[in-house]
Structure 1
Amino acid sequence: MDIGIGLPNTVLEVDRAGIVEWSRRAEAAGFSSLGTIDRLVYPNFEPLITLAAAAAVTERIRLLTDILIAPLHSNTALLAKQVATIDCLSEGRVVLGVAVGSRPDDYTASGVELSRRGRIFDEQLQTMTSVWAGERGIGPAPFRGSRPQLLIGGTQPRSFARVAQHADGWTSGGGGPQAFAAAMPAVRQAWSDAGRDGNPRNVALAYFGLGDTAATDIAHTLGSYYAFAGPYRQTAIDGAADGPAAVQAVIDGYRAAGADELVLFPASADPAQVDRLAEIAFGR
């Protein structure tokens, strides 16, 4: 199982060091991917611009949106061009994880109808594929001559059908190893029903905090980010891995569940979190 690390682009105190220095350390430590999380009505760093900054100071590590809320980007051709540009600049390291999201305020601010997000998303997947294939005269072409690796998030049967029709795999979001393992048979069944060979790539997400202030960082960061979510706010806080033993348990749990990659997202923007996580993940 690959182990990636999230950039702290949704941590309220994030600054340049939390992106640039963090990216350099993550690549040097051997993490497989740098991930970003998306929101609009929140003081986070925008995911694609964040990954462009990371691309400029790294050479090998994958650049993953986990996820980008695609329907908020109403100009789909421009979105495809932006993604292809980062893919070229990074020499093919982009992994585009996309989903529909559910926050009404994000959609209101975007001028996009929340009730139409599924239909918009289906159209976007077709449009982006067409742009990346060079069928619309919109460049640049993706670095490897075909679309970037594409993952689709969501937990409903329609999401799994989209994975099978359009993507290379599924990204699960939070929920823990048991929920991940419970969903994988349905993802694989949709893949098989669509006539796809092999198995879809699957990526899992978890939150972590390390160091003396880990519990405070988790409560502050996840409490703020999930303030809209009612009782789930505390569920997210309680589900984060607080300390080395909890982080190791999450890694072991997702490995046993069959994840291809686990991306651990931080509750602090201190680049020292990268080194602390590497000690647990890689024994150094």
Structure 2
Amino acid sequence: MDIGIGLPGHAPWTDGRALVEWARRAERRGFTTLSASDRLVWTTPEPLIALAAAAGATSRIRLLTSVLLAPLRANHALFAKAVTTLDQVAGAGRLRLGLAPGLRDDDFSAGGVDYASRGRQFDRLLECLAAVTTRGAVDGHEPVGPSPATPGGPPLLFGGHSDAAVRRIVTHGIGWIAGDATVEGVQEFAPGLQKAWTEAGRQGAPRLVASVMFSLGPNARQALSEAIGPYYAFAGDEYAEYGISQAYSSPEQIRTAIEEFARIGCDELIFMGNDPDPRQVDLLADVIGL
């Protein structure tokens, strides 16, 4: 099972260069993937821009949005052009896109995008992205590009548990990405996804990527409270406390998580940071033996 690390984008950080240093250290220590999360109504950096900076500071580590709130990108052609540009900057085979429709209506209100129709907008975006990454044209207008460095464009992963999410995975994607994942949640969802994958005529198995929250060191629990508590406060204190309790803050918890997610067949486990200090990268690498 591959092990990735996620930028602490939703945590209280003030120095963007620290995120670039996360990328450099993540590559140097041997993590397979560096991921960036997405929110509009929060201090989270825009993920494509954050990953562009990471791409320029590294040369090998894979880059992933986990997950990008796709319907917020209302100009579909411009979004597709941003994706192919980032794919060129990163180099062939490095970029993957984790996409989801989004859950919070305040993101859409602030972005001037209709929340109720986000699913339909998502599907239109995917059609446009496919047109740009494979043919370089939209509605007869060409070139819309540059062409991606990765043939056919970056592979797509989709978040969510709905029937629509399954449809997008088997139609457009290479697999599923589970945020705030639990072993039980992956075990519950994966068999139905495999069944739909096979019935759609897809070969092999969909890729299963799980992401979990972490912080290490003497101030780990405080860092988790300061990052996750406010981030999930919209859902109430009980949910915020649940999110904090699910995060990993000790070497033993992290090693057990790796064993358990590998046991159930996950292809990749991504530990999302909650402390902006780049030394978190080294602490995690030391725990897992990188």
TM-score range, shorter chain: over 0.9
Contact 1:9 1:50 survives alignment (8 Å): no
Take 1:16 and 1:41, find their aligned partners in 2: how far apart are those partners?
Answer: 18
What is the aligned partner in structure 1 of residue 284 from structure 2?
277
What is the aligned partner in structure 1 of residue 211 from structure 2?
205
Q: How does 1:127-276 map to 2 (within 5 A)?
A: 127-136=128-137, 137=142, 138-230=144-236, 231-276=238-283
Q: How does 1:96-115 map to 2 (within 5 A)?
A: 96-115=97-116
Contact 1:70 1:121 survives alignment (8 Å): yes
- Could you report, residue by residue, the CA deviation over 1:221-266 in whole angstroms, capped at 9, with x for unpaired residues? 0001111112321111100001111111211121112110011001
2:23 aligns to what SS in structure 1? helix
What is the aligned partner in structure 1 of residue 121 from structure 2?
120
User: How far has the Cα of 1:17 moved from its partner?
Assistant: 3.6
Which sections of structure 2, spanning at least 5 residues, go unmatched? none
TM-score (norm 2): 0.95
> Which ranges of 4 or more aligned residues in structure 1 deviate by more than 6 Å?
none
Amino acid at match of 2:151: G
- Could you report, residue by residue, the CA deviation over 1:63-99 in whole angstroms, capped at 9, with x for unpaired residues? 1000000000100111111011111111021110100
Identical positions, percent: 43
Amino acid at match of 1:144: T
TM-score (norm 1): 0.97
Structure 2 residue 25 is matched with structure 1 residue 25: yes
2:176 aligns to what SS in structure 1? strand
Q: How many residues were matched structurally?
A: 283
Take 2:219 and 2:51, find their aligned partners in 1: how far apart are those partners?
Answer: 27
Amino acid at match of 1:251: I
Amino acid at match of 1:236: G
Take 1:37 and 1:14, find their aligned partners in 2: how far apart are those partners?
Answer: 17
